[in-house]
């Protein structure tokens, strides 16, 4: 089963929840895998350290145009819907702008002169570490200057064992990298905070997940700051609140230092162990029923 | 005219609250929310929209089932795994489709039509201290980087029309395409960080990214008093990188209270330590030539 931990707004505590759930599960002796899908800002391995087992590069294919073979017919320019081919027909100048290219292959498909070949270029890495020598963590890391992290995320998720329990630490937002993460998940935990920004962005995330038909529940982080509007709205909409994490300076301090609060504080450890048990229940209906108790 | 973008790498460090504070200190400003995925700046600036436009974020493949022969050529050709077999027919997963149109080009039965995605919107508005341009990316729609470019073009035209000197851009988190679109062509980047190992890690990535642009960089350390030791380490690193730390802002509960009242911190409590430090940031940033 795959569980994605996501949020519309950044900095609400996705990585905090992912790392603590993972820690609690390892503590209970369960087999679990964590994938850090936030390839633009990967942070999980700052908190969970282990021996690096392998680093895999992820490649995208970028076309290059052989000007000697090119007939300057302009077909590839027409076929490219991302404006990624720079073309001056009269001056006979043509080349690909990699930062705009989506590696879709349309240009090489339409070229009838054999002038376009595609070359693999590394866009990022997937680093595998073994936490406490047993539990695998896969970290997606996009190279600086690359536009899209989606191929790295897809590759990392493809790599994991489908039968295993997997936590996916999602990137923020509601566009492509978020979609690539949650579309593979059986269940999504949305982490939010009870502020107007939190509520605004939570609604967008929920709208997206409902459209995609993926089941979800909500964790309210930093409970106690802000106001009651979030909780009232969730109750009105009948959306399960999986957990409330109080605003606690202990969490802020341990998190700032790169530590797992569940490792230091038994109250938080038992909270996350309990939640992990609920999530491991087989069906979504059971999960929802349990959360409503 | 100058364009200043506020970035952070890590989300939740305070980009929007700080942008809103800057946007309510000066006059004749143009504020732009480039975080089209999770646009929040409007919640603090209370803009009055006078223009709303559709944004077409490319196209999505649509298979006409009555024409489709289920030959599977499109399934094999699609590099985004957006087309698959489903109950003896072909199904397009809208959220995975990037709109490249390769499938439509190769379909021997001409069964694929490209449908425009036009549910996103962008707005021009006024607020207390000037003008505002922002957008709402319809959830699940793509090309947020392109939408950022669109609203930045609109903002520039508006700034010229009304002779506004400064465009303030509230940027998205991360280092990917919407961030690249937000920083391209700006003159100054204000990076908001906080004393946590993750924010420091992501600060290094955003600094790395901005090296490729001709921009002046500035850092503010928000909530510096959560860990003074780590704040000092971040500050020392910035000095090494020759990036000025223009202010260290304290953790202040009033930021959330201001947010609940839909105000920036300088509107909510202009006399607080946080607000007076923001005044310093404003001067350092806008008046630096």
- What is the average pLDDT score of chain A? 92
In A, minimum Cα distance to B93 occurs at A212
Number of domains in chain B: 2
B73, B194: one domain: no
For chain B, what is the largest distance between any 2 Cα atoms, rounded to a whole number of angstroms?
A: 71
Average pLDDT over residues A167-190: 94
Taking an 8 Å cut-off on Cβ atoms, the answer to whether B197 and A258 are in contact is: yes
Tokens 């490729």 belong to B212
Per DSSP bridges, beta strands B245-248 and A187-192 are: unpaired
CB B203 within 8 A of CB B66: no
| B205 and B64 together in one domain | no
Residue B157 token pair = 């035209």
End-of-domain residue from the set B116, B132, B147: B116
Phi, psi values for residue A26, rounded to 5°: -65, -40
| Chain A nearest C-alpha distance from B281 (Å) | 23
CA distance linking residue A226 with residue A124, whole number of Å: 38
Q: What is the DSSP string of B177-214?
A: HHHHHHHTT-SEEEEEE-SSHHHHHHHHHHHHHHTTS-
Which of A164, A130, A121, A142 lies closest to A37, judged by CA?
A: A142
Same domain, B174 and B141: yes
Domains in chain A, please, with CATH? 2-58+124-292 (3.40.50.300), 67-114 (3.30.70.20)
Q: Assign A77 to helix, strand or coil.
A: helix
Domain span including residue B273: 2-56+119-286
Q: How far apart are the first and last CA of chain B?
A: 12
Which of B116, B136, B159 finishes a domain? B116
CATH number at residue B255: 3.40.50.300
Range with lowest mean pLDDT among A274-283, B23-32, B270-279: A274-283
One domain, residues B165 and B26: yes
Q: Which CATH number characterizes residue B94's domain? A: 3.30.70.20
Contact B205 A144 (CB under 8 A): yes
- Please check whether residues B229 and B101 belong to one and the same domain: no
pLDDT of amino acid A44: 96
pLDDT single digits (tens) B156-194: 999 999 999 999 999 999 999 899 999 999 999 999 999
Calculate mean pLDDT across residues A270-284. 85
Instruction: Using an 8 Å CB-CB cutoff, list chain B residues near A41.
Output: 9-11, 173-175, 198, 201-202, 205
* Range in A9-23, A208-222, B57-71, B141-155 with the lowest mean pLDDT: B141-155
> Domain check: are B64 and B198 in the same one?
no
- B11 and B36 in a single domain? The answer is yes
Q: Are residues B63 and B132 in the same domain?
A: no
Q: Distance of CA A260 to CAs A106, A169, A254, Å? A: 47, 15, 7
Phi-psi region of B19 (alpha: psi -120 to 50; beta: other; left: phi over 0): alpha
Asked if B48 and B87 sit in the same domain, the reply is: no
How many interchain CB pairs under 8 A, A with B? 183
DSSP state of B126: E
- Please tell me whether residues B88 and B191 are part of one structural domain: no
B91 and B144 share one domain: no
Residues B175 and B215 in one domain: yes
């Amino acid at each position: 089963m795959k569980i994605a931990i996501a949020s519309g707004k950044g900095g609400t505590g996705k990585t905090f929840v992912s790392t603590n759930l993972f820690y609690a599960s390892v503590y209970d002796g369960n087999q679990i895998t964590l994938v850090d899908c936030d390839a633009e800002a990967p942070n999980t391995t700052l908190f969970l350290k282990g021996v690096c087992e392998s680093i895999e590069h992820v490649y995208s294919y970028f076309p290059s145009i052989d000007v000697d073979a090119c007939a300057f017919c302009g077909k590839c320019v027409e076929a490219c819907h991302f404006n990624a081919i720079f073309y001056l027909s009269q001056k006979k100048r043509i080349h690909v702008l990699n930062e705009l290219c989506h590696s879709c292959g349309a240009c090489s498909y339409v070229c009838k002169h054999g002038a376009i070949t595609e070359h693999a270029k590394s866009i990022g890495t997937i680093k595998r570490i073994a936490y406490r020598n047993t539990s695998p963590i896969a970290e997606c890391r996009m190279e600086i200057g690359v536009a899209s992290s989606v191929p790295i995320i897809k590759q990392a998720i493809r790599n994991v064992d489908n039968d295993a329990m997997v936590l996916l630490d999602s990137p923020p937002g509601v566009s492509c990298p978020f979609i690539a993460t949650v579309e593979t998940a059986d269940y999504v935990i949305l982490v939010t905070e009870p502020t107007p920004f939190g509520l605004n962005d939570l609604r967008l995330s929920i709208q997206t997940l409902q459209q995609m038909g993926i089941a979800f529940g909500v964790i309210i982080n930093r409970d106690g700051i802000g106001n009651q509007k979030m909780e009232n709205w969730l109750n009105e909409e009948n959306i399960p609140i999986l957990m409330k994490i109080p605003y606690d300076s202990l969490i802020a301090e341990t998190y700032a230092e790169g530590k797992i609060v569940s490792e230091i504080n038994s109250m938080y450890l038992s909270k996350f162990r309990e939640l992990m048990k609920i999530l491991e229940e087989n069906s979504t209906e059971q999960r929802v029923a349990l959360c409503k108790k | 005219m100058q364009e200043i973008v506020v970035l952070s790498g890590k989300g939740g460090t305070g980009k929007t609250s700080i942008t809103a504070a800057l946007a309510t200190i000066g006059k004749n400003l143009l504020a732009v929310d480039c975080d089209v995925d999770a646009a929040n700046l409007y919640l603090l600036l209370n803009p009055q929209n006078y223009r709303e436009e559709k944004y077409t974020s490319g196209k999505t493949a649509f298979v006409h089932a009555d024409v489709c022969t289920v030959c599977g050529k499109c399934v094999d050709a699609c590099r985004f795994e957006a087309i698959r077999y489903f109950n003896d027919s072909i199904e397009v997963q809208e959220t995975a489709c990037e709109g490249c149109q390769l499938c439509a080009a190769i379909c021997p039965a001409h069964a694929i039509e490209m449908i425009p995605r036009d549910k996103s919107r962008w707005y021009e508005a006024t607020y207390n201290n000037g003008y505002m341009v922002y957008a709402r990316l319809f959830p699940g729609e793509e090309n947020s980087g392109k939408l950022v470019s669109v609203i930045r073009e609109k903002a520039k035209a508006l700034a010229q029309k009304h002779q506004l000197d400064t465009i303030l851009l509230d940027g998205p988190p991360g280092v990917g395409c919407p961030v690249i679109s937000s920083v391209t062509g700006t003159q100054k980047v204000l990076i908001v960080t906080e004393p946590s190992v993750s924010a420091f890690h992501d600060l290094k990535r955003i600094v790395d990214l901005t090296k490729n642009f001709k921009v002046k960089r500035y850092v503010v350390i928000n909530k510096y008093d959560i860990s003074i030791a780590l704040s000092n380490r971040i500050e020392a690193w910035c000095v090494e990188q020759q990036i000025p730390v223009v202010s260290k802002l304290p953790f202040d509960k009033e930021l959330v209270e201001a947010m609940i009242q839909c105000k920036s911190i300088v509107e909510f409590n202009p006399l607080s330590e946080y607000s007076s430090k923001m005044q310093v940031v404003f001067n350092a940033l806008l008046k630096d030539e």
